[in-house]
Amino acid sequence: MANKIPRVPVREQDPARRATNFEEVCFGYNLDEATLEASRCLNCKNPRCVAACPVGVRIPEFIAALHRGDPAGAAAVIARDSSLPSVCGRVCPQETQCEGACILGIKGEPVAIGKLERFVGDWKLAHSSAAAEPVARNGRRVAVIGSGPAGLACASDLAKMGYGVKIFEALHKVGGVLVYGIPEFRLPKETIVAREIDEVRRLGVEIETDVIVGRTVTIDSLLDEEGYDAVFIGSGAGLPRFMGIPGENLNGVVSANEFLTRANLMRAYDEESDTPIYVGRSVVVVGGGNVAMDAVRTARRLGAEATIVYRRGEAELPARAEEVHHAKEEGIRFRMLTNPVEVLGTDDGWVRGVRCVEMELGEPDASGRRSPVVKAGSEFEIGCDVVIMALGTSPNPLLAATTAGLETDRRGCITADAAGVTSREGVFAGGDAVTGAATVILAMGAGRTAAKAIDEYVRRKFAE
């Protein structure tokens, strides 16, 4: 029988203190806390949480193992469906997925599924056996483009099936959005991301950095000259969008991608790093997603007064609830129903503020969200010296432009079916490169689905 106790609180760094450092905000559960929280699960016959998980992690089963005091067993249950539990436990939007569907959430607080998954993932990383079970190689080779969640998941599944897998990464560091996009205070790079990647390497996956597929090599050269039997594209959605308003090229206007890449990938906040970052005294971040929250909280940590400007209301913020909550605790200001119409500059071309209009919510649009409309005569100015645009990203057109027969849609996303099959034989794709900017778990799921499709394709090809 489930334990009718309130949700076990999770320990966090004090908001005032953490707003000045880049250490992880949330400490996570220890074994006692995790075991206690696990006792709250009703172990439903028809678990709604599993149905709400994009990759169908057998949630009640892993929680039951945890409740029995068997974290290794719990890790084995999760591993059947997810290859990055430490990451997903930290960055999944649980409130709209598993936890949002939890029966306990109807009257009270849902089981802390994300925090439990994180505990199990971290436990596994800490107790990982030195040698993975050797898998017999089948002599076939697959090239994976991009070392983000989709590529890592696809590569590890293929390696487990016996394929020789090599990941090609354009940047100097492995991990894709996990290293350039998501900040240290939300996803630690050395203790979590690097170790998840070590796990993938231990399966025999090779990783070559500094290779821009489409420039350094091409998909055709990988297939025809380097002897790969198939290619998986997991190149993500890396191209930042701007608003197209006057003043956007003033000094002090940056994309969230630039700001976060300087901070996360290049560690510009570290005295040791040669890469500069400019925050000024006052920062306005335009947007309401996770990337906007990451940028605004990074700016805060670098000493700036930081404000979110978002054109819809608070209920419409697409960011994870936890990030919005954390941002508020850290002293971030939120100006909802506000939209910039111009970036204002000084005579010498530096940002001095943004001119905004107030918005109100009208009729629901195609996405079901109420669309914002401009309130007449509502123009006003917000003074600031940096404006960070966090308006979303789209896939890099380079691969489609350099690969004959690889189709994309009008948004520039690579066309692929549910299994990851593209218009080009032997070429598969998944994650943000196909869907446009989405979540780590969806990308990971797409990578795993594509791994199955690649296996079927290669088997079929060589049976002929």
Contact residues: other proteins, CB under 8 A: 170-172, 180, 190, 194, 209-212, 215-217, 238-240, 242, 248-249, 251-252, 254-255, 257-258, 261-262, 265-267, 270-278, 348-349, 396-398
Q: How far is 358 from 96, CA to CA, in rounded Å?
A: 28
Q: How far is 196 from 174, CA to CA, in rounded Å?
A: 11
Asked if 343 contacts 387 with a C-beta cutoff of 8 angstroms, the reply is yes
| Closer CB to other proteins, 36 or 398, in the complex | 398
Q: What is the DSSP letter of 191?
A: I
Kindly state the smallest distance separating residue 310's Cβ from other proteins, in Å. Answer: 20
Asked if 448 contacts 429 with a C-beta cutoff of 8 angstroms, the reply is no
Radius of gyration of the chain (CA): 23
Contacts (Cβ under 8 Å, ≥6 apart) of 247: 253, 342, 343, 344, 345, 351
Asked if 305 contacts 289 with a C-beta cutoff of 8 angstroms, the reply is no
| Closer CB to other proteins, 104 or 343, in the complex | 343
Q: How far is 293 from 287, CA to CA, in rounded Å?
A: 8
Helix axes 31-38, 113-126, angle to 10 degrees: 140
Kindly state the smallest distance separating residue 232's Cβ from other proteins, in Å. Answer: 19
CB atoms within 10 A of CB 282: 17
| Closer CB to other proteins, 238 or 340, in the complex | 238
Q: How far is 179 from 260, CA to CA, in rounded Å?
A: 10
- Report strand pairing: 393-394 vs 239-240: antiparallel
First to last CA, the chain: 55
CB atoms within 10 A of CB 213: 24
Asked if 387 contacts 363 with a C-beta cutoff of 8 angstroms, the reply is no
Kindly state the smallest distance separating residue 345's Cβ from other proteins, in Å. Answer: 10
Pure H helices in 319-381:
321-329
Q: How far is 196 from 212, CA to CA, in rounded Å?
A: 23
Beta bridge partners of 282: 305
